[in-house]
Each structure stands twice: as structure tokens, then as C-alpha cells.
Chain A
Amino acid sequence: MREETKFLIRRAVFLAVALGITLAFMFPLVWVILASLKTRLEIFVLPPKWIFLPTLQNYRDILSSDFMYQLRNSLLVAAISTGVSLVFGSLTAYGFSRYPVRGSDNILFWILSLRMLPPIAVVIPFYLLFRSLGLLDTTLALVLVYCIFNISFSIWVLKGFFDEIPVELEEAAKLDGYSPAQVFFRVSLPLVRPGLATTAIFCLIQSLNEFLVALTLTTRKAVTAPVGLAKLQTFLGTDWGRISAAAVIFMIPVVVFTIFVRNELIRGMSFGRMR
């Protein structure tokens, strides 16, 4: 009995510490949200004010600034590159899933390794290339580069989803007279709808969050939100209220997306291998 109590206490302490750390992890998020609602003076007050009259002035400032345009750029680039990647990705993922040929494993690995490519290695040649093509500072340039990452990611994740479709469903459709292409569009693709949604959301988040490529390939017109945030920080210096407000606005879509895919996080973050 005593041993049991000791065990329970140890477990409770362990849990309390761990949950405490979890809450501590949330703290920066909370702090930034609070900062976005404070006036410039309140932010600098130490000890920090936990109770204050929230102001929306920072948000008003940001909503009427360039940042919204940059956020629009971000969403546009993310949406287009995600769309394109899903089209390419679902076709090829299905190909690898259903028509594996000798050496297709090697090709698959090559494709996955593209996802891991250090952005710095991609950025240098593309900067030079796009400069000579006059594509610097365009949405198209960003979309093209993000597609490399998103296509390879989609192929991997979607292949996992296609692998899970029972073969009989496709065989039944073939027997009914549907061609392989019709089987793909009418049976397989509808069946992986959840997989497409998951993949799309991860592509969106990754594209929204990308910084180095956007920083190098854009200057003004096509600047995206993360680059905008970095510039904001440089220009505004210590105006943390507005910076925080911008960060919070930028976070909203990402957090919403995360809630959508919370059950598929493991698939998205480890390329569908660990389940």
C-alpha cells in the first residue's frame, strides 16, 4: 500500500512538472498576443502588467499598412503553389503507388531528398537565373521554387494515402469497363480526399512560413508576410505592439490550419512514414 502511494505521488509530480513545462511553452504565444493589445508604454513596463485596458490601435495600424498586401502575397503564392503541387503530386504519387518499376524506390528517394534541400543551395542559382530572366520580385518566381518543395512533399504523403486504398476497389472499376485514367479520377482520387486536404494544408503552412527564398527573390512587389515581418522589425525597431499585432494576424491562418490537421500531424511532419 505504501509503495502504491509512493508510486502515485511520483507520477503526480512527474505529470505536474511536465504539464508545467507545456504551459511554459505556451507562454511566448500568450505574451505576444498580450503585447499586441498593449500601448507602446505598457509593453515596456516592468514588472509586466497582466491586467490592462486592451487597445486595438496596433491592429488598426497594421491593417492599414503594407503588411496586409504582403500577407495577401503570401496567401496567393501559397495557394497557387499548393494547387499546382497537388495536381502534379497526386498524379505521380498514384504512379509510384500503382505502377512501381525497377528503380522507382531510388527515384522516390531522390524526390524526397529535394524536400530536404537546403534553401540556400536553391536560392543562389535561382537568384541569378531569375535576375537574367527578369523574374525577380514576382509571384511566379516564388511559386516555381515553392513547387519544388511542395511537389516532393505531396508525392510522399499522398503515396501513403494511395497505398491504403484497397486494390479491389480499383479492380472492380476496371472490370466495369473504366480505363485506368477513369479509375484514377472516379475512384482513387475521391477516396483520398482526406489525404488531399491534409497534404494541401501542410503545403500551405510550409509555403506561408518560408523565409529565405522569399527574402532573396523579392524586393518590393512580391514581398511575403515573413519577409514583411522582418522588415517591420528593422524599420519599427522597438514598436513591439505593432510587430506583435502583425505576427498575430499572420499566425491566425496557420493556427486554424493546424487545428484542421491535428490528427494528421505525424503524417505531415514525418512524410507519411511514421504512423
Chain B
Amino acid sequence: MAPKLPPQPPLQHGTTAVADGPAHGHAAPPKGIWRWLITTNHKEIGTLYLIFSLTMFFIGGIFALVVRAELFQPGLQLIEPEFFNQMTTMHGLIMVFAAVMPAFTGLANWMIPLQIGAPDMALPRLNNFSFWLLPVAFTLLLSTLFMPGGGPNFGWTFYAPLSTNYGPPSTTFFILALHIAGISSILGAINIIATILNMRAPGMRLMDMPLFVWTWLVTAFLLIAVMPVLAGVITMMLMDINFGTSFFNAAGGGDPVLFQHLFWFFGHPEVYIMILPAFGIVSAIIPTFARKPLFGYASMVYATAAIALLSFLVWAHHMFVVGLPLVAELFFMYSTMLIAVPTGVKVFNWITTLFRGSISFESPMLFALAFVVLFTIGGFSGLMLAIAPADFQYHDTYFVVAHFHYVLVPGAIFAIMAGVYYWLPKWTGHYPNERLAQWHFWFSVIGVNLTFFPMHFAGLAGMPRRIPDYALQFADFNLLSSIGAFFFGASQLLFVLGVILCVRGGKKAPAKAWEGAVDLEWTVPSPAPLHTFETPPVFHRAST
């Protein structure tokens, strides 16, 4: 069963001038599982990435529900604190490295060649390799849960020496898994950069590229810059644990604070790696459903680049309480606040695009609009956290948890879902069931806010993060959060149902599935045939 694949086309209906001739010269793909193991087709690999990511989204989600079940009421009811710590850690690691990042890479694989008029990614075999590293990495990571001493229990930030001197014996496997996942991201990034820089349709300049391509180009550069730093940090951990070095061990002259500097030098750009492609998706969807060109295209590009550059100068705002000197606190406070400027430019551009547009509210648009509103709430709580003296109070409380879940769940995840609903007609040739998608949307919005909004209050009142038990005064907020979490988790089954139904059938979609859509992907038939743009399309610049 591989229904997600676009069937081999007996040449299409409704093909526009730009679409390809018949796929001559391609051997019939091998059958069964072997086909998926050796595929070098960007669409098939994109599909693999998306299915993998969805699977991991549910595994990470189950871990989150274990956490929320334990926090449903004060006291220890269901699980041991040690296992609780493993659940919070694994939830974070899986969601960041196995759900959000591969989902964006999957979308990039599917859409970047289609949006720039390339026949495939620049390095198709490398593409296959990058994907198949992921199941290896995360099988290894998940298997640590069954090892003696359990899986990683030191939080997704794996601060040394908690993870080196005091970590479980399985930490070495955790490091290896992260190394493999990191290599996968790096190879994916190299491929994306090579594709975007060299394989654009003739006549398409960089400043003609759709914003999803632009944001991914910037993201890929961020990956190239910081993934090696992560690799370096975990290599140092590996040596501290196994070879007696003392990079982070104070007893041997090392410095635990150095770990935090190195980690967040990777970690903060990583945050933008998880949100910039989301900006690109939303910048494609809002103009389509507002039936207006995107307002301020150039400023969007510059804002993306500015966010990426600033992301290297703000890392220590995660460390305001380690005892930084006053000058450093001030520098990182102001540089962090500075990021609100390019981000604000983006939000204003989206709103201005909506202004006097003829808006319709199909499911991709609903998710994109919810993204704009809820991501902005996450941005505001981020500004609150950027204030160093205030952060002394907020640090390591549920306020931080509320903040980053607002930017990641209704931020990154909603944008991914918006993108999936937006491009499903292109992938499968069928529109998703709109009624089901709208139910999914409203349940998700209610679930997300019910889960994460009370966490702001719990955090401001002083509830620390990463604890399995809490003081009685936080009971009501936690009750609400837990109910919301189960509601949100269950409603994601509607998403799976919608995707499966859409793959199997539904209203037929034409090549240009949405009235206001303009980019190159809408010039190839729906479903997109396995091979597209074998002769480069002629790119017509939109007249502006």
C-alpha cells in the first residue's frame, strides 16, 4: 500500500503550457518497499519525510500526554519522577528533531523543486541518504527508553554536567542518535542550498523566488552554521563521559557554563530554523486566499535575513541567571528585543496583505490566520522574557513553557498543517474534506489555547518547569492544561483521517487548485506527476 504517491500519469487533463512532456527515459520504479528504500525522487522522499514526521508527532505527543496525565492533579499518581523526566526530555527531543524539522524538510523536498521549476533536487541520492538516516537515529534514541537506567532524563537541553556526570548510561546512545540526526539535517541543508542556487528556472532571479524558497534558503544556511556546533558540543560530552576529558567538568578545570554558551549558540538559531520556513508557508497562503499579492515582498526577504543574522547574537538570553556580568545582560537583552523589529515587519506585512483583500476562509487560510494571531502572542511573551530583570522571575517557570509552546505549536505546527492542507490537492489530486478540516481546525485552536494559555498564569505564579508534582495552588491551571492537552491530542486524529481520506479520493483538484494561487507549482497538473519540469519552464515575472 503506497497510496500517497501520485500515480504514474497517463498524460494529464488540464495541463498548462508549462507542464512537461511525457516521462520518457525513466525506468519503471521497482515495486513494494524496495522502491521506497532506493527512491531518489524528490516527491517520494518528501512524502517519506512527511509520513515519518507525522508518526513522530504522535509518538512525541503520547509522551506529552503521559506528562500531562501525571500533572492532572497534584501528587504522584501514575509514574515515577525518574520516568517523568525521561518523558519530558523525550517529548522535547522527538518534537524538535524528529517532528518539526523533518516536516519542514519534507515540505522543502516536495515544494522547492516545484516552486523554482527544477526537475528534482540537486543531489537526489544524497537526498535519499539524508532521509533514511532519520529512522535509524530515532529508533536508536527511542530504544534508550528500554535500556537499563532508562533514556535521557536531563531535559532536551541536556545541560552538562547533569547529562555527563549524572546522566544515565544510555547517554552515549543519545549522543550517537543526535549525531546521526544532525548529519541528516546537514546533508538536507546542503542539498537545498545547491538546488536553490543552481537549479532555478531560466529567468528566475533570487528576488523572484517564492518566500517559502527564500525562507528555506536562509534556514539551510542557519543549519550549515549551527549544526556543526551542536555536533561539536555533543562530541565534547562524549569525550567527557567516555574518555576522561574535562570540557564541562569543573573538577578537571572545565566549565559547565561553557556548555550552556555552546549549546545556546546552536540552540537559538535552531529556534529560528523551526520557524522561518513557517513564515514562508504563511506568506504563500495569505496572499492566495486574500487574492492580493504579498505586501512588501522585498522587506519580507530582508526581515528573514535580519532575523537569521540576529539569531547569532542573542544566545545568552537563555542564561540570564547563570551570573552574567551586567554588560552582557544588557547586550543580550537589547539584541533580543531587536529581533522583534524584523518579526514585527513580517506580521505587519501579513496584516497589510489581508487589508481590503477578498478573503475566503478555507482550512489552509484558517490555520495561517491562527498562526499570525497565536504566534504573535508567543512573540509577546518572548519579549517579556527578554527583559533580563523580569526573566529572573520567569526563568525556568511554566511561563517559559507557555511561551515556547505558543511559538512552536500554533506557530510551527499550525503552519505545517496549513501547508499540508494547502498543497494536498497538488500532492494527491484531491481536495481535503473541507468540513473535516474545519472541525480539525476549531478543535485544534481550542485545544491549543486551553492547554497552553493557563501555563502563563501558573508560571507567573511561580510554578517551576520539569517537575512531576506541584504545590496545591497550581492545581486548577494544571487541570485545565491537562484537559486541553488530551482534547488537542485527540483532535489530531481528525488530521490523520483527513489526510488518508484525501489520498484515497475526494473532490478532484485542477492544476491550479486555489483561485488566487500564483507560484510555479500550480502550473503542473494535480496530482503532480512523478517527474515534472524535465524541460525547464519559462518563468514569467509577475507584473508589479
Question: Do the two chains belong together in a single complex?
Answer: no
